[in-house]
C-alpha cells in the first residue's frame, strides 16, 4: 500500500511539473516579449514570486490544484494590467521601472552618477568591451538602462540624444532641459512640419540634421 501511495505521489509531482511548466510558458507569452528579454526590477519581482509559487505548487502534492493555479493566474493578470498602465504613464513607469541614467553625457564621464549607482570603472570598461569599444573617446552618450545594460551612442552617429523628445503625445522635459532647448522651440519645429498637435505624435527623435517624427497610427516612415 505504501508503494502504491508513493507511486501516486511521484506521478502527481510529474503531472504538476509538466502542467506548471507549460503554464509558465503560456504566462510569459501572454505577458509579451518584453518580459522574456532582460528584466527590469519590476519584472524581476514578479518572476521571483512566480518561481516561489511554482516551487510550492509542484512539491506540495496534497495542495488542491486550483488553489495553486489561482495565484499564478492572478500574477499574470497583474503583470499585464500594470504593464498597460505604465505604458500610458511616464510618472508611474519611472516609479516602478526606474529611469535610465547617463554614465557618459556629451563625451564626459558622469562621476557623481556613477557613485550614486555604485557603478565602477571596471563595470564600465567591461560593458564597453562587450560592445566592441576600446576607446572611450568615441562615445557621445552612454546610458545605464533599467535592466543593467549599457546603451551607447558614438560621436560619429547622427542621433544627438538617446531619448525621444516627444513620446506618445507627451513632451520629455528632462530631455529638453539636458539639450538646453525650450518646448516652444520644439512646438515651432513640429508645426513647420505641418503638425499642429503634440498629442498626435507617437515619437520624435533629435538627429544632427533633422527631427524624426512618427505620428500615431502611421504605418510608414
Asked if residue 84 and residue 8 are part of one domain, the reply reads: yes
Are both 48 and 60 inside the same structural domain? yes
Rounded CA-CA distance 17/59 in Å is: 9
Confirm whether 40 is domain-assigned. yes
Look at the chain and report how many structural domains it folds into. Answer: 3
Please name which of 194, 203, 193, 195 lies closest in space to residue 170, comparing C-alpha atoms: 203
Same domain for 10 and 91? yes
CA 172 to chain centre: 17
What span, in angstroms and rounded, lies between the C-alpha atoms of 6 and 136?
A: 62
Q: What is the pLDDT of residue 69?
A: 74
**Residue 161 placed within a domain:** no
Contact 205, 165 (CB under 8 A): yes
Confidence of residue 213 (pLDDT cuts 50, 70, 90): very high
For the chain, give the mean pLDDT: 79
Look at residue 117 and tell me if it is in a domain: yes
Q: Is the pLDDT of residue 126 over 80?
A: yes
Report the pLDDT value the prediction gives residue 61, as an integer from 0 to 100.
Answer: 60
Q: How confident is the model at residue 35 (pLDDT cuts 50, 70, 90)?
A: very low
CB 103 within 8 A of CB 113: yes
Q: Are residues 86 and 110 in the same domain?
A: no
Taking 50 as the threshold, does the pLDDT of residue 37 lie above it?
Answer: no
Whether residues 48 and 113 share a domain: the answer is no
Same domain, 56 and 139: no
CATH number at residue 184: 3.30.240.20
Report pLDDT for 7.
60
Q: Write the pLDDT tens digit of every residue in 43-53.
A: 667 777 777 77
Residue 131 and residue 136: Cα distance in Å, rounded? 11
Query: Do 130 and 57 share a domain, yes or no?
Result: no
Q: Is the pLDDT of residue 32 over 60?
A: no
Judged by average pLDDT, the poorest of 61-65, 108-112, 139-143, 183-187 is 61-65
Q: Are residues 190 and 204 in the same domain?
A: yes
Residue 220, in any domain of the structure:
no
Largest Cα span, the chain? 84
Do 23 and 73 lie in a common domain?
yes
For residue 170, give Cα distances in angstroms to 95, 187, 212: 17, 12, 15
Instruction: Indicate whether 140 and 197 sit together in one domain.
Output: no
Instruction: Establish if 194 belongs to a structural domain.
Output: yes
Comparing 107 with 10, the larger pLDDT belongs to 107
Closest CA to 142 of 165, 119, 118, 168: 119
Segments forming the whole domain that contains residue 198: 166-215
Residues 171 and 139 in one domain: no
Question: Is residue 159 situated within a structural domain?
Answer: no
Is residue 140 a part of any domain in this protein? yes
pTM tops 0.85, yes or no: no
Cα separations (Å) of 220 from 38, 100, 195, 201, 217? 29, 29, 16, 14, 9
Taken as a whole, the chain contains a residue count of 221
Amino acid at each position: 500500500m505504501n508503494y502504491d501511495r508513493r507511486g501516486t505521489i511521484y506521478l502527481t509531482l510529474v503531472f504538476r511539473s509538466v502542467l506548471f511548466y507549460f503554464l509558465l510558458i503560456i504566462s510569459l507569452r501572454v505577458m509579451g516579449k518584453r518580459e522574456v528579454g532582460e528584466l527590469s526590477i519590476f519584472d524581476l519581482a514578479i518572476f521571483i514570486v512566480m518561481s516561489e509559487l511554482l516551487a510550492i505548487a509542484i512539491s506540495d502534492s496534497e495542495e488542491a490544484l486550483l488553489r495553486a493555479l489561482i495565484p499564478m493566474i492572478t500574477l499574470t493578470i497583474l503583470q499585464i494590467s500594470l504593464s498597460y498602465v505604465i505604458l500610458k504613464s511616464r510618472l508611474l513607469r519611472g516609479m516602478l521601472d526606474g529611469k535610465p541614467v547617463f554614465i557618459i553625457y556629451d563625451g564626459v564621464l558622469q562621476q557623481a552618477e556613477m557613485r550614486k549607482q555604485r557603478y565602477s570603472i571596471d563595470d564600465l570598461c567591461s560593458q564597453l568591451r562587450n560592445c566592441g569599444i576600446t576607446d572611450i573617446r568615441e562615445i557621445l552618450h552612454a546610458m545605464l538602462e533599467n535592466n543593467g545594460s549599457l546603451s551607447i551612442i558614438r560621436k560619429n552617429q547622427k542621433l544627438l540624444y538617446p531619448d525621444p523628445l516627444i513620446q506618445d503625445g507627451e513632451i520629455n522635459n528632462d530631455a529638453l532641459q539636458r539639450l538646453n532647448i525650450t518646448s516652444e522651440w520644439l512646438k515651432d519645429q513640429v508645426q513647420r512640419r505641418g503638425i499642429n498637435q503634440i498629442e498626435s505624435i507617437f515619437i520624435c527623435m533629435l538627429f544632427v540634421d533633422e527631427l524624426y517624427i512618427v505620428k500615431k497610427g502611421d504605418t510608414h516612415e
